[in-house]
Amino acid sequence: MANGVQQERKRRVTLQIGWLGWTLLTLVLLAGVGALALRHALQTNGAAVLDGTDRLLRGGDGSIRLAASAQFGPDPHQRLDMFVPADAKGPMPVVVFIHGGSWASGRPDDYRFIARALAPHGYAVVLPGYRLYPQVRYPAMLEDAAAALRWVADHAAAHGGDPSRVVVMGHSAGAYNAIMLALDRRWLAHQRLSADALCGAVGLSGPYDFYPWDDQASIDAFGKAPDPEDTQPIAHARADAPPLLLVHGTADTRVKPRNSVALARAMTHDGAPTQAVLLKDVSHEGLIMMFARPFSSDTRALDVVLPFLAKVTAPSPAVQSPPR
């Protein structure tokens, strides 16, 4: 009788272990399928899926607050949202993030994950849109980005931002826009902004030296420019430009990392020491994905961006009266 009870117990334990093993295997497989499905969705729906996944995994937008939503021009694309930390106190530096999309697609609404990543570190984050091809071509994207900076200069203070500490940042086509605003003085001048209006600029996976144009997106956006070489950020390298942070993935086949390397070399040659930060085995899309969950566990991008932002937006020491 006792032997029969022991055998039955062993049988049940064996079954439980078996079911546990199958359950764990099923969860692993589902996780794998989920990861594959997520990557497929990112390839087809891009930033919108990335933003939705990030919001879900962070448990919502509890860490940020929408401080302002405004038009900075008459076109529907000329609008922006400004986010601040949920517990915002006092004027804080402003990061203006410009989205990518080959100058032909993209919406600022899909990049709230940038605000969730940066605002909790003490930054107001502005997400502007801009007119896109085929509605417009170069230089409309730069005119719109400069107009967004004009809005920041005029209105950010009313919503918790410090207009004297502004950094412009972008990914891919947005990185082109951001770096051009920092290097080519005319776009800020068109908005009656000082060349010193920016504390710095961050370019992620940006095209800075891509003429002659070798893809349809560049031909579409820039093909009718009267002076093609003048459209290139590298042509505007200058010693007195705001500090630049150029980040690129070594596995980027969409915008080759040589763009960041060439611009950094040109800036250094002209008297503004600049380094291209190359992240090993990171792709074009992979770099922007590192700002959103679940991919932000790879902290290499934030590990270079956050120290740069802190350095260039540090408040100036108070001016002390000379001793009497």
213 φ/ψ angles, rounded to the nearest 5 degrees: -70, 135
Residue 212 lies in a domain: yes
Q: How many CA atoms lie within 13 A of 262 on its CB side?
A: 17
Give the per-residue pLDDT at 2. Answer: 54
On the question of pLDDT at 9 being above 90, the answer is no
Give the per-residue pLDDT at 37. Answer: 58
Q: Are residues 142 and 19 in the same domain?
A: no
Percent of the chain with pLDDT over 90: 81
Structural domain harbouring 179: 62-312
Give the per-residue pLDDT at 221. Answer: 98
Residue 53 lies in a domain: no
Q: Are residues 34 and 111 in the same domain?
A: no
Task: Please say whether the beta carbons of 99 and 107 come within 8 A.
Answer: yes
Cβ-defined contacts of 230-235 (< 8 Å, 24+): 231/138, 231/139, 232/208, 233/176, 233/179, 233/180, 233/183, 233/184, 233/206, 233/208, 233/209, 233/263, 234/208, 234/209, 234/262, 234/263, 234/266
Distance CA 145, CA 167 (A): 13
Q: Are residues 174 and 203 in the same domain?
A: yes
Residue 322 lies in a domain: no
Which residues are paired to 295 by β-bridges? none
Give the per-residue pLDDT at 132. Answer: 98
Domain count, the chain: 2
Give the per-residue pLDDT at 22. Answer: 38
Task: Please say whether the beta carbons of 223 and 179 come within 8 A.
Answer: no
Q: Are residues 273 and 156 in the same domain?
A: yes
Q: Are residues 24 and 110 in the same domain?
A: no
Q: Are residues 150 and 259 in the same domain?
A: yes
**pLDDT band at 89, cuts 50/70/90?**
confident
Report, as an integer, the average pLDDT of 105-114.
Answer: 97
Q: Are residues 39 and 67 in the same domain?
A: no
Positive or negative CA dihedral for 135, 69, 316, 99? negative
Give the per-residue pLDDT at 195. Answer: 87
Residue 57 lies in a domain: no
Give the per-residue pLDDT at 61. Answer: 95
**pLDDT band at 21, cuts 50/70/90?**
very low
Residue 317 lies in a domain: no
Q: Are residues 9 and 151 in the same domain?
A: no
On the question of pLDDT at 321 being above 50, the answer is no
On the question of pLDDT at 20 being above 80, the answer is no
Q: Are residues 39 and 186 in the same domain?
A: no
Report, as an integer, the average pLDDT of 293-321.
Answer: 87
Residues 204-226: pLDDT tens digits?
999 999 999 989 999 999 999 99
Q: Which of the residue ranges 9-13, 79-83, 87-91, 97-101 would you say has the lowest mean pLDDT?
A: 9-13
On the question of pLDDT at 172 being above 90, the answer is yes
Give the per-residue pLDDT at 316. Answer: 67
On the question of pLDDT at 324 being above 90, the answer is no
Residue 31 lies in a domain: yes
On the question of pLDDT at 249 being above 50, the answer is yes
Which among 247, 239, 262, 166 has a CA at the least distance from the CA of 206? 247
On the question of pLDDT at 322 being above 60, the answer is no
Give the per-residue pLDDT at 36. Answer: 60
Report, as an integer, the average pLDDT of 234-250.
Answer: 98
Q: Which helix (H) or strand (E) holds 249?
A: strand 244-249
Q: Are residues 176 and 126 in the same domain?
A: yes
Residue 321 lies in a domain: no
Give the per-residue pLDDT at 212. Answer: 96
If 0-12 CB within 10 Å is exposed, 13-18 middle and 19+ buried, where does residue 190 land? middle
Report, as an integer, the average pLDDT of 281-299.
Answer: 97
Q: Roughly what angle, to the nearest 10 degrees, separates helices 140-155 and 173-183?
A: 70
Give the per-residue pLDDT at 24. Answer: 43
Report, as an integer, the average pLDDT of 194-203.
Answer: 96
118 φ/ψ angles, rounded to the nearest 5 degrees: -100, -40
Residue 198: Cβ within 10 Å count = 22
Distance CA 89, CA 119 (A): 12
**pLDDT band at 188, cuts 50/70/90?**
very high
Distance CA 43, CA 49 (A): 9
Residue 268 lies in a domain: yes
Percent of the chain with pLDDT over 70: 83
Q: Are residues 166 and 236 in the same domain?
A: yes
Q: Are residues 8 and 97 in the same domain?
A: no
Q: Which of the residue ranges 11-20, 87-96, 154-163, 175-184 would you say has the lowest mean pLDDT?
A: 11-20
- The CATH number linked to 253 is 3.40.50.1820
